[in-house]
Copies of this chain bind each other. A is one copy, B any other.
Amino acid sequence: MAAARERRPTIADVARLAGVSPSAVSFALNGRPGLAEATKSRILAAAAELGWRPSRPAQALSRGRAGALGLVLSRETDAIGADPFFPAFIAGVESVLSPRGDSLVLHVTNPADEAAAYHRLAADRRVDGVLLTDMRVDDPRPELTTGLGLPAVVVGDPGCADGLCAVSLDDKPAFATAVARLAELGHRRIAHVAGPREFHHSRRRQESWEQAVRAAGLTPGPVLPGGFTADGGAAATRQLMALGVGERPTAIVFANDLSATAGLAVAHRLGLSVPEDLSVVGYDDTPLAAYTHPPLASARADALGWGAAAARALDEVIARGRADDVELAPARLLPRASMGPAPDPARAAPSGPGSTAVRPQRQPEHEQAAEPAPEPTVRREP
């Protein structure tokens, strides 16, 4: 079975077949001018005949560029799985890399080894630059990569880019819309179940929620940590629902779908109906969001476009040393049936559990985004 591992053709083989020198082959391949058209096509034909493609390691060595971008994921292993962001993001990166024949080098580490991973990537010359995702508050990586001379782009807002090029996507409008809508529906006590404190985007989402609540003339309800996890979301929900009737929120805005879905389940288990007794909003628009019970209102960000934009920006940083910040169209709220009118305070029984009646859903599904999407804009750096 083991196919005789024949020697793969090299540039010399192609040159010989075409009756030219190796340099000519290189010129033809790279579209350099100064080669007769006839010669060029003869060379390309020879290359095709042999099925030759230049060896990437050899190219990388002589060009001094690896032809690859790096992505280091340092989440805890089990936290990666639940998030639909990365697969789509990576696909977006690929859509830029693939046509050029470049590739993506992925490293999964635990947080403790993160810095070492970047050091290695830089010293190795295995990649030409890296994408920094999951930015944390006071994230050391912008300084680290700058110090290492490793080109990098921040996938997140400029506030955490520390001078690096930032490719961002605003989640504020989605939270603003969600909260505004809830306020319209009569909710007066809107809680937030936040993501991990260390993530920049967790904080941003919390701020967005808070701002929106204040903008609606309300007092921000309680904020509980949900850690972006199902466990956290469930625990937070239980805590919130255990509050006295005067403090218990009638709506919860979760930092992501995973915690929101778990919250939904907890609500059911407590005998609460959503959205009759409690409105719930998530973030991420996981594939399941439209299929929870009831369908979970959530916000969708264009992860694919984000990946592509980040890859392009990194390209530019690598080539020109710097690139302008990019701001993508903001995430858009998908208002699904988990948002509904606030329960009538008069009817609100002080006891949550008890009314186990199954109420049919009447809420029609709106799939349109609540807001028209602005065009992506390129912001000049000051």
Q: Give residues in A with beta carbon < 8 Å to B.
A: 1-6, 8, 51-58, 60-61, 66, 68, 77-78, 80-82, 84-88, 90-91, 94, 98, 101, 103-109, 120, 123-126, 146-149, 163, 229-231, 233-234, 258, 261-262, 264-266, 268-269, 271, 286-288, 290-295, 304, 321-322, 334, 336-337, 358, 360-361, 363-371, 373, 375-376, 379
Contact = CB atoms under 8 A, between A and B. Distances in A.
Contacts of A78: 88, 287
A32 to B, nearest CB: 21
A85 B77 CA distance: 11
Contact of A103 (B101, B105, B290, B293): B105
A339 to B, nearest CB: 12
A78 B367 CA distance: 18
Given A98-B109, A268-B293, 12 more contacts: A51-B123, A57-B57, A61-B61, A68-B105, A91-B108, A94-B106, A230-B288, A258-B287, A291-B369, A358-B376, A365-B367, A365-B369
Contact of A2 (B123, B266, B321): B321
Given A98-B107, A104-B107, A290-B230, A81 B84 contact: yes
Contacts of A233: 291
A294 B94 contact: no
A366 B287 CA distance: 10
Contacts of A6: 149
A90 B105 contact: no
Contact of A8 (B90, B125, B292): B125
Contacts of A287: 78, 81-82, 229-230, 258
A285 to B, nearest CB: 10
Given A8-B125, A61-B57, A77-B88, A105 B108 contact: no
A258 to B, nearest CB: 6
Contact of A107 (B94, B321, B375): B94
A161 B358 CA distance: 50
Contacts of A108: 87, 90-91, 94
B2 A322 contact: yes
Contacts of A52: 123
Given A104-B107, A125-B56, A293-B268, A368 B370 contact: no
Contacts of A371: 365
Nearest to A124: B56
5 contacts: A90-B108, A103-B105, A230-B288, A261-B292, A294-B370
A358 B379 contact: yes
Nearest to A234: B291
A231 B287 CA distance: 9
In this complex, the member of A101, A107, A369 whose beta carbon has the largest number of chain B beta carbons within 10 angstroms is A369
Given A58-B61, A124-B56, A291-B234, A370 B379 contact: no
A231 B98 CA distance: 30
B286 A125 contact: no
A321 B110 CA distance: 32
Given A147-B3, A293-B269, A261 B286 contact: no
B291 A265 contact: yes
A105 B104 contact: yes
Contacts of A261: 288, 291-292
